[in-house]
């Protein structure tokens, strides 16, 4: 990772507190343009909070987060402009159940990106083709399997042509036989050079796709490095323990 | 899965018993009551045209006024309810405060008192027809209840829907308009239907301020002919037939909405 590359995310000493619980305890980390960062750690370690603070679904209490050079928590920042560029894929898919698959992909393109319906639909169909669900364009999300819904959700994020994608445990709600199809789509997105931050328990995916693995525990980053380093020679005891339990 | 629309029925319960197919007892009772009421009314009018047929001929004007008040008030109440509901969930403290105050005050005053009050209060400023005054009074009252229905409907939509819309770059207004409200409408529809029926029944209260609705027409007839028992028998049956008719329609609408998607 050369340091002269542009930083998509630059988080400095961020703190998030729920009541008396420190979800994030002075965390600093960067994501470079085109980089794939996988964030792992036990539940409650703050990894989802970290991810969600990047598009300000969680508002941090202290510290600073720059996304593409813009301080997202500054008073003058229009957060919707940031969110247009930073897509998010959720554990529970969150497709809009009252809209068809196609409409799920076109809504924000039309409303936010101000594209014409025709342009939006063309873009949407191309993406549905890519995730292998073109024939489901007119279906409602409720008629799709979990894996299919998540692939649609990824396509929905891509339809905005974001600079970066955040994945918050995208396969955790899926039946085991559907995990593969979603990971395949994520890998293909990664191959095309998308900047990605992924919270996941899929160690195979981390090994294969990640440029860098971040291990979190108790609201802090305790270990950080390449997948080779992390999976073969972790230095921190907590990381070793976690790996021995999960692998 | 959290993105499956939460099934939630807000049963306000002051309207009418909606005959749902799942509730076989009510479903049967509806048939007996509805067709029974029509049968009894027809039998009475046929066998004793004086006074029953005469009463039936006298009250249709009143039925029209009752519908006029009910439809006018429900339309206005839905608008007020939407504004109030959005106010109640608003982060804007002023908007929220005004909406909450409205709900709190209106729910604390009996409807009958509100009808009198608005009639005479309005009368001091502008001269409005009694019917309009009645519609406003009913709408102001029901708007407060409707506001709570709208608020509950919006809050029943899963949080993930809001987050998904926001993460796509939509602002609060776009999210509400395109994602939350269309889903909330389905949840809100049954209780709104319920409120409609409740309002229809409560509209009989406006007979107190010189509005010639169904009840008032009945009273006029009765006091001239001294056939109080007979007249109120007819009035009660007519109200029953009307409310049962609408509760059936609402039941059918509910099923349509729940089958759809």
Kindly report the CATH number assigned to the domain that includes residue B159.
1.10.3720.10
Is position B190 within any domain?
A: yes
Is position B206 within any domain?
A: yes
Contact list, A96 vs chain B (CB under 8 Å): 161, 164-165, 179, 183
Is position B43 within any domain?
A: no
Residue span of the structural domain in which B85 resides: 59-259
Tokens 């709900």 belong to residue: B103
Contact list, A148 vs chain B (CB under 8 Å): none
Quote the tokens at residue B213.
């609705």
Quote the tokens at residue B31.
């048939």
Is position B23 within any domain?
A: no
Q: Which residues of A touch B (CB under 8 A)?
A: 55, 57, 80-81, 83-88, 90, 92-98, 107-108, 111-113, 140-142, 146, 149, 153, 156-157, 160, 173
Query: Do the beta carbons of residue B100 and residue B144 sit within 8 Å?
Result: no
Question: Rounded distance, CA B118 to CA A224, Å?
Answer: 70
Question: Rounded distance, CA A236 to CA A133, Å?
Answer: 43
Query: Do the beta carbons of residue A175 and residue A29 sit within 8 Å?
Result: no
**pLDDT digits 0-9 by tens, A74-127:** 999 999 999 999 999 999 999 999 999 999 999 999 999 999 999 999 999 999
Quote the tokens at residue B118.
């608005």
Is position B241 within any domain?
A: yes
Q: Between B225 and A5, name the one with better pLDDT.
A: B225
* Three-state secondary structure call for residue A214: strand
Q: What is the pLDDT of residue B261?
A: 46
Identify which of A106, A104, A169 has the alpha carbon closest to the alpha carbon of residue A143.
Answer: A104
Q: Pick from B4, B157, B166, B168 the residue to mutate for testing the A interface (most A CBs within 10 Å).
A: B168
Q: Which residue of A has its CA nearest to B5?
A: A97
The DSSP code for B213 is -
CB atoms B163 and A92 under 8 Å: no
Residue A44 has pLDDT above 60, yes or no: yes
Select the residue of B3, B165, B178 nearest A93 (Cβ to Cβ).
B3
Question: Rounded distance, CA A138 to CA A144, Å?
Answer: 11
Question: Rounded distance, CA B120 to CA B198, Å?
Answer: 24
Is position B42 within any domain?
A: no
Question: Rounded distance, CA A90 to CA B163, Å?
Answer: 9
Q: Pick from A58, A87, A96, A145 the residue to mutate for testing the B interface (most B CBs within 10 Å).
A: A96
Q: Please state the pTM of the whole predicted model.
A: 0.84
A167 CB-contact burial (10 Å; exposed 0-12 / middle 13-18 / buried 19+): buried
Q: What is the pLDDT of residue B117?
A: 92
Measured in angstroms, the CA of A41 and the nearest CA of chain B are apart by 23
CB atoms A112 and B163 under 8 Å: no
**pLDDT digits 0-9 by tens, B61-108:** 999 999 999 999 999 999 999 999 999 999 999 999 999 999 999 999
Q: Which residue of B has its CA nearest to A106?
A: B168
Is position B44 within any domain?
A: no
Measured in angstroms, the CA of B207 and the nearest CA of chain A are apart by 43
**What domain count does chain B have?**
1
CB atoms B160 and A94 under 8 Å: yes
* Three-state secondary structure call for residue A224: strand
Q: What is the pLDDT of residue B155?
A: 94
End-to-end CA distance of chain B: 16
Is position B33 within any domain?
A: no
Q: What is the pLDDT of residue A45?
A: 93
Split chain B (261 residues) into runs of 10 and give each run's mean pLDDT.
Answer: 46 68 83 95 94 93 95 96 94 95 94 92 87 94 94 94 97 96 90 92 92 93 94 96 92 76 46
In degrees, rounded to 5, the angle at the alpha carbon of residue B181 between the alpha carbons of residues B178 and B182 is 70
Question: Rounded distance, CA B195 to CA B143, Å?
Answer: 10
CB crowding A16-27: b at 16 or more within 10 Å, else e:
beeeeebbbeeb
Quote the tokens at residue A84.
């247009």
CB atoms B183 and A98 under 8 Å: yes
CB atoms A90 and B164 under 8 Å: yes
């Amino acid at each position: 990772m050369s340091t002269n590359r542009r930083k998509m995310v630059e988080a400095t000493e961020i703190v998030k507190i729920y009541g008396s619980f420190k979800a994030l305890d002075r965390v600093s980390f960067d994501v470079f343009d085109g980089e794939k960062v996988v964030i792992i750690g036990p539940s409650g370690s703050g990894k989802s909070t970290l991810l969600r603070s990047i598009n300000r679904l969680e508002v941090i209490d202290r510290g600073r987060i720059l996304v593409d050079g813009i301080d997202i928590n500054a008073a003058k920042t229009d957060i919707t402009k940031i969110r247009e560029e930073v897509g998010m894929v959720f554990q529970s898919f969150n497709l809009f159940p009252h809209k068809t698959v196609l409409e799920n992909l076109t809504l924000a393109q039309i409303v936010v990106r101000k594209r014409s319906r025709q342009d939006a639909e063309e873009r949407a169909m191309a993406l549905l083709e890519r995730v292998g669900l073109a024939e489901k364009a007119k279906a409602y999300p409720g008629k799709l399997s979990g894996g299919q819904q998540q692939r649609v959700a990824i396509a929905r994020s891509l339809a905005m042509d974001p600079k970066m994608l955040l994945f918050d445990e995208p396969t955790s709600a899926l039946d085991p036989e559907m995990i593969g199809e979603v990971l395949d789509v994520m890998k293909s997105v990664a191959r095309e050079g998308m900047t990605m931050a992924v919270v996941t328990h899929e160690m195979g995916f981390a090994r294969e796709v990640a440029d860098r693995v971040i291990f979190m525990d108790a609201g802090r980053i305790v270990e950080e490095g390449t997948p080779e380093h992390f999976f073969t020679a972790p230095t921190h005891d907590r990381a070793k323990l976690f790996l021995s339990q999960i692998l | 899965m959290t993105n499956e629309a939460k099934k939630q029925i807000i049963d306000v319960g002051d309207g009418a018993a909606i005959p749902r197919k799942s509730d076989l007892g009510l479903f049967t009772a509806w048939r007996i009551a509805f067709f029974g009421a029509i049968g009894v009314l027809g039998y009475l009018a046929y066998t004793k045209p004086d006074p029953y047929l005469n009463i039936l001929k006298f009250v249709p004007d009143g039925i029209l006024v009752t519908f006029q008040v009910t439809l006018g008030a429900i339309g206005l109440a839905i608008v007020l309810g939407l504004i109030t509901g959005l106010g109640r969930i608003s982060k804007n403290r002023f908007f929220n405060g005004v909406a909450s105050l409205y709900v709190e005050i209106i729910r604390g005053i009996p409807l009958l008192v509100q009808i009198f009050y608005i009639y005479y209060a309005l009368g001091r400023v502008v001269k409005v027809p009694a019917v309009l005054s009645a519609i406003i009074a009913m709408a102001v009252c029901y708007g407060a209840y409707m506001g709570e229905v709208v608020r509950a409907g919006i809050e029943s939509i899963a949080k993930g829907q809001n987050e998904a819309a926001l993460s796509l770059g939509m602002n609060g207004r776009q999210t509400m308009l395109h994602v939350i409200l269309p889903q909330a409408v389905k949840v809100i529809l049954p209780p709104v239907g319920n409120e409609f029926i409740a309002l229809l029944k409560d509209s009989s209260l406006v007979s107190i301020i010189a509005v010639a609705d169904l009840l008032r027409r009945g009273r006029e007839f009765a006091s001239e002919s001294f056939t109080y028992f007979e007249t109120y028998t007819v009035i009660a049956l007519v109200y029953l037939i009307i409310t049962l008719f609408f509760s059936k329609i609402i039941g059918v609408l509910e099923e349509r909405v729940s089958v759809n998607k």
